[in-house]
Amino acid sequence: MTKTRVPEDSRLPVLGFRAGDLPRRVLVVGDPDRAKKAAGHLQDVKELGRTREYVSFSGRHHDVEVGVVSHGVGSAGAAVCFEELFRAGAERVIRAGTAGGMQADVLDGHLVVATAAVRADGFTQQVVPSEYPAVADHRVVDGLLGAAESAGVDVHLGVVLTVASFYPHQVLGSSLPMWQQAGVVAVEMEVAALYILASLHEASAGAILAIDGNPLIEKDESMEGYNPNRPVVHEAVEATITIGLDALVR
């Protein structure tokens, strides 16, 4: 497998900062405001770049250099971010994000560590054959579980579904009940792309996700009642940031 690397003094075309300024360990989040919040946990923080949905910081966590970068919503746009991070030399990337619960015991405010992802993302099908799996690095998974245990936080562990469509439509209907029967624990929009690109670049990746609803249990597959702006979700998101950062430096 050939790894693509860019010179340290080159500027990443989309993320907009010098490749050599990126730490080897990076926390990625969807929301630029969440990236700013995560950067607030670091010491010696520097803003590296700010273009479109991509906001990037560097700093230190427990005396280890780390980066924090936002990737936006959806695998295609997020993959631009992930690709440039790996080309710049990122070796360990953890996504701290949100997801919908898929099982009866995966509820608002819970956390999920994603061991693998179902590739219904619309991006990775253009990168590798459908038989190629999207899996986390077991060392990163162990780090996330250890960080969660140290924080006294329980997590669910399992396969997540990465989809390209957030709001479902009646033309094709929803596949969520099928994936629920298959044991998938949560649904989100970027993990499969992260895991595939990490594998291709021989890097390590993992993800910890805050559950902001369960459309199957709530019988709300149309997402009409979706509301992520609640204290229970905000607390879970904060936990993903702290656990994700701690796992990065383990």
Can you tell me the distance from the alpha carbon of 93 to that of 59, in angstroms, rounded to the nearest whole number? Answer: 15
Token code pair at residue 188 = 């989100």
Q: Note whether 188 and 96 are within 8 A (CB).
A: no
- For 161, other C-beta atoms within 10 Å of its C-beta total 27
What's the DSSP call for residue 164? Answer: S
> 81 phi and psi, to 5 degrees?
-60, -50
Containing H/E element for 99? Answer: strand 92-101
Are 174 and 237 contacting, i.e. CB atoms less than 8 angstroms apart?
no
| CB crowding 193-218: b at 16 or more within 10 Å, else e | bbbbbbbbbebbbbbbbbbbbbbbbe
Q: What angle do CA 1, 56, 191 make, to 5 degrees?
A: 50
Q: Contact at 8 Å (CB) between 43 and 62?
A: no
Residues 6+ apart with CB under 8 A from 140: 92, 94, 204, 205, 206, 247
Catalytic residues: 212
